[in-house]
A = this chain, B = another copy of it.
Amino acid sequence: MPQQDRAHATREAILRAAAEEFDRLGYERTSLTAVLTRAGLTKGAFYFHFASKEAVAAALVERQDELWAEVRQAWRIRGVDPLSALHGMFLESADRMAADVVLRAGVRLNAEREIGYPGVPNTHMMWEKLIGTYLVEARERGHLLPGVDPEAVARTLCSAALGARLISSATTSCADFPDRLREVLRHVLPCVVPAGWKLSGSHNAPEEVIGP
């Protein structure tokens, strides 16, 4: 393996080992020693790539930021209606979280950082706003029942998604997060869309009827 590839592989091994510890224990309780043991690396190899435990955590947080931006962009390009895009993004996010410890750790670290330092911009408020824009657009297109408040639906969906992620994460390492999130959508969306409303080309649920 050329030296550059080897360096890249080592960096990835560190990120993955750190993610496995952070995902289980959170930032505070994760020790660098445990990460090194897991990765089978020396301190020297570690410090060649990262200045500190905090630096690895920052890289994981950044990676999940980038991934969510990509997921949003991919759904924008797909050009489906806003409610189908929202539904698809929720389920795709859950699938990715269940499958990817690096992503899970990034999400956990991001959330912990915010609880610890209230100055950091609040990701959940950002998600609520973002999801609210999809619902506002759905209302403008006549895809919501009259009287439904898009922001209130956004708050409910974000709360439920956050809670489902935490419970699922604590009990099954997010393995049942996709099922839990599917249940949430099934129990909220029929309250807000007209009868017989159909999802178009949603993630893992093409043409599903979600109306009451």
Contact = CB atoms under 8 A, between A and B. Distances in A.
Q: How many copies does the complex hold?
A: 2
Interface string A6-23: 000000000000000000
Interface in A113-129: 114-116, 118, 122, 124-125, 128
A19 to B, nearest CB: 17
A190 interface: yes
B170 A163 contact: no
B212 A124 contact: no
30 contacts: A28-B28, A115-B170, A122-B170, A122-B171, A124-B170, A152-B186, A152-B187, A155-B167, A156-B187, A158-B163, A158-B167, A159-B159, A159-B160, A159-B161, A159-B162, A159-B163, A159-B180, A159-B184, A160-B184, A162-B162, A162-B163, A162-B166, A163-B164, A163-B166, A166-B166, A187-B191, A190-B191, A191-B191, A191-B212, A212-B212
